[in-house]
Amino acid sequence: MVQLKKFFTTKSSEKLKKGEHFLDYGDQSQKLGIVLDGILYSTYLSETGQEWISNFFYPPNHAIITSHESFMLESKSTESIRAYEDSTIIYITKTEYDDLTKQNPQLEHMVRVLAEASYVQALKRVYDFQSLTAAQRVKKFIAENNVLVQKVQRQHIASYLGIHRNIFTRVLHKI
Asked if 149 and 142 count as a contact pair (C-beta separation under 8 A), the reply is yes
Rounded mean pLDDT, 8-13: 77
With a CB cutoff of 8 Å and minimum separation 6, the contacts of 135 are 171, 174
Q: Give the amino acid at 34.
A: I
Its domain, for residue 59, covers 2-103
- Tens digit of each residue's pLDDT (9 = 90 or more) over 87-121: 999 998 999 889 888 888 887 787 778 778 878 88
Question: Is residue 83 assigned to a domain?
Answer: yes
CATH of the domain at 37: 2.60.120.10
In a domain, 72, yes or no: yes
Spatial neighbors of 98 by CB under 8 A, at least 6 apart, are none
Number of residues in the chain: 175
Residue 153 in domain: no
Whether 164 is covered by a domain: the verdict is no
Q: What is the pLDDT of residues 61-75, one digit of tens each?
A: 788 899 989 998 999
Q: Which among 8, 6, 24, 28 has a CA at the least distance from the CA of 16?
A: 24
Q: In what order do the strands lie in the sheet with 87-93?
A: 14-16, 87-93, 31-37, 64-65
d(CA 154, CA 82): 18
Number of structural domains (the chain) is 1
Confidence of residue 6 (pLDDT cuts 50, 70, 90): low
Classify residue 159: in a domain, yes or no.
Answer: no
In a domain, 155, yes or no: no
